[in-house]
């Protein structure tokens, strides 16, 4: 992409050289080792656009690697032709050009790619790509971790990773078995809600001692962000019910709502005491066919008002509700805007919102980039290109309007891509 402003080229050149902090990602290990050219094209979030442009049946055919390229190509081409201009498609195009030297998606291109598929299980290759993207640190959200590896500090991180504490499973407990799964690695037997809360604090403390830099919660995939503030007795009643009869399994979220809400508030108190920020998924969700209303960041108003000593990093630019997030960030000192993932969900939305954010909220509260893939350093690289483009376009437009000076634009770019997150997550990276 390219901006229209006279200052665009110079600013983009400056931004290209900046180190960046990847504010949100899910790379537990280096992966994948690609086994099929279509896997390079239809992967990560782009699968959703392809599905949205075709059908559930077609996406199965496209992803069936036992079929030949010739068999899958007509189905893929039809969907590609209907969705090749989205932000996700741009990621695929950048990957095709950079790593396979292919300008267009054709059957011939796919055949040529067959023998040079990237092996991203190779840590050296993976890290080299991150280095090309100048990624200095990555805030990683890994949900499947054996607690014992955190406690004895043997857990191995992917390159440049800084860990977050994955919250949802700790407050979405629906059964005795769910509690036991959390408690057993510590060799504890839980018999009351108080004991469970103590257990959670000990786990979170161990994560912090390991080096975790934030909490992370993505419960909005399953439940509304409108947390109530129930009394402890309501939470205890539900907890005691399934604990005294291990055969009882409650539904989520409706069956345990007061417990879920109560624990979430308890965990916010722990975040305050551990002095760690809380990253929360807001806005658009991965996959298709989910309910967007429940994920609007404005649902968090009560949480933000009450927990004033907790710093919240609200994700994905709350796409498509930019106005609500700008409001929250402007009005609450403990709210930051995080553009992770959003830069590829909707590049033009981000260009506009960055401009609006500069003119409405303190720019020191904006985090400009987060790749949000699982592995896939190739796509994280492409995502970083789009994020740099978006920021350069937004800021150079503001220079053209004489809203900012050229020097202001450079300073803001550095803050959005590096300084703000370095300070917010207390990463202490020197450049």
**Shortest distance, position 284 Cβ to Zn ion, whole Å:** 11
Q: Which stretch binds Zn ion (CB under 5 A): 31-39, 223-231, 346-354, 364-372?
A: 364-372
Site map (CB under 5 A) of Zn ion, residues 314-353, x = contact: ----------------------------------------
Report how far residue 211's alpha carbon sits from residue 26's, in angstroms, rounded to the nearest whole number.
Answer: 16
Q: Is 372 in the site for Zn ion (CB under 5 A)?
A: yes
Buried b / exposed e over 185-224, threshold 16 CB at 10 Å, is eeeeebeebeebbebbbebbebbbebebbbbbbbbbeebb
> Among 18, 134, 92, which residue's Cα sits nearest to residue 395?
18
Q: Which stretch binds Zn ion (CB under 5 A): 41-49, 75-83, 206-214, 369-377?
A: 369-377
> Which of 384/396 has CB closer to Zn ion?
384
**Shortest distance, position 65 Cβ to Zn ion, whole Å:** 26
**Shortest distance, position 372 Cβ to Zn ion, whole Å:** 4
**Shortest distance, position 281 Cβ to Zn ion, whole Å:** 7
> Which of 336/396 has CB closer to Zn ion?
336
What number of chain residues touch Zn ion (CB under 5 A)? 1
**Shortest distance, position 237 Cβ to Zn ion, whole Å:** 33
Q: Which stretch binds Zn ion (CB under 5 A): 7-15, 54-62, 182-190, 372-380?
A: 372-380
CB 160 within 8 A of CB 138: yes
Compute and round to an integer the Cα radius of gyration of the chain.
Answer: 22
Q: Which stretch binds Zn ion (CB under 5 A): 61-69, 97-105, 143-151, 366-374?
A: 366-374
Structure-block tokens of residue 159: 């390159």
Give me the phi and psi of 252, to 5 degrees please: -125, 135
Give me the phi and psi of 66, to 5 degrees please: -80, -15
Minimal CB distance to Zn ion: which residue? Answer: 372
> Which of 36/372 has CB closer to Zn ion?
372
Structure-block tokens of residue 20: 């960046």
**Shortest distance, position 106 Cβ to Zn ion, whole Å:** 32
**Shortest distance, position 342 Cβ to Zn ion, whole Å:** 11
Report how far residue 49's alpha carbon sits from residue 399's, in angstroms, rounded to the nearest whole number.
Answer: 34
Q: Which stretch binds Zn ion (CB under 5 A): 103-111, 186-194, 367-375, 392-400?
A: 367-375
Looking at residue 415, the DSSP 8-state letter turns out to be: I
> Which of 102/372 has CB closer to Zn ion?
372
User: Sign of dihedral through CA atoms 72, 74, 78, 80?
Assistant: positive
Q: Distances from the Cα of 316 to the Cαs of 337, 344, 353, in angstroms?
A: 8, 10, 12
Provide the binding-site residues for Zn ion, judged by CB under 5 A.
372
């Amino acid at each position: 992409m390219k901006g229209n402003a006279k200052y665009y080229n110079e600013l983009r050149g400056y931004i290209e050289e900046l180190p960046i902090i990847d504010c949100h990602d899910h790379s537990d290990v280096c992966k994948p080792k690609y086994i099929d050219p279509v896997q390079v094209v239809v992967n990560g979030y782009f699968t959703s656009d392809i599905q949205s442009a075709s059908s559930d049946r077609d996406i199965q055919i496209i992803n069936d690697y036992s079929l030949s390229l010739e068999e899958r190509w007509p189905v893929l081409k039809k969907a590609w032709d209907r969705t090749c201009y989205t932000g996700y498609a741009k990621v695929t195009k950048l990957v095709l050009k950079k790593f396979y030297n292919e300008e267009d998606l054709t059957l011939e291109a796919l055949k040529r790619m067959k023998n040079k598929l990237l092996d991203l299980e190779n840590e050296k290759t993976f890290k080299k790509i991150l280095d090309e993207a100048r990624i200095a640190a990555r805030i990683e959200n890994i949900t499947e971790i054996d607690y014992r590896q955190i406690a004895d500090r043997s857990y191995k991180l992917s390159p440049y990773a800084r860990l977050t504490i994955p919250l949802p499973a700790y407050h979405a407990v629906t059964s005795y078995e769910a509690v036991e799964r959390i408690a057993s690695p510590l060799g504890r037997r839980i018999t009351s809600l108080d004991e469970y809360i103590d257990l959670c604090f000990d786990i979170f403390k161990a994560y912090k001692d390991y080096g975790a830099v934030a909490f992370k919660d993505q419960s909005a995939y399953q439940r509304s962000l409108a947390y109530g503030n129930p009394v402890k007795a309501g939470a205890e009643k539900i907890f005691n019910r399934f604990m005294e009869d291990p055969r009882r399994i409650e539904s989520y979220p409706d069956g345990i709502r007061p417990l879920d809400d109560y624990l979430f508030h308890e965990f916010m108190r722990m975040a305050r005491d551990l002095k760690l920020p809380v990253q929360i998924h807001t806005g658009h969700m991965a996959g298709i066919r989910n309910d967007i209303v429940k994920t609007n960041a404005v649902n968090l108003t009560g949480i933000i008002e009450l927990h004033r000593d907790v710093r919240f990093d609200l994700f994905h630019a709350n796409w498509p509700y930019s106005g609500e997030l700008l409001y929250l960030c402007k009005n609450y000192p403990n709210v930051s805007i995080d553009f992770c993932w959003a830069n590829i969900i909707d590049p033009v939305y981000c260009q506009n919102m960055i401009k609006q954010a500069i003119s409405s909220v303190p720019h020191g509260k904006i985090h400009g980039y987060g790749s949000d893939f699982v592995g896939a350093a190739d796509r994280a690289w492409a995502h970083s290109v789009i994020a740099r483009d978006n920021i350069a376009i937004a800021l150079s437009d503001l220079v053209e309007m004489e809203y900012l000076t050229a020097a202001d634009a450079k300073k803001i770019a550095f803050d959005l891509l590096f300084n703000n997150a370095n300070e917010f997550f207390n990463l202490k990276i020197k450049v």
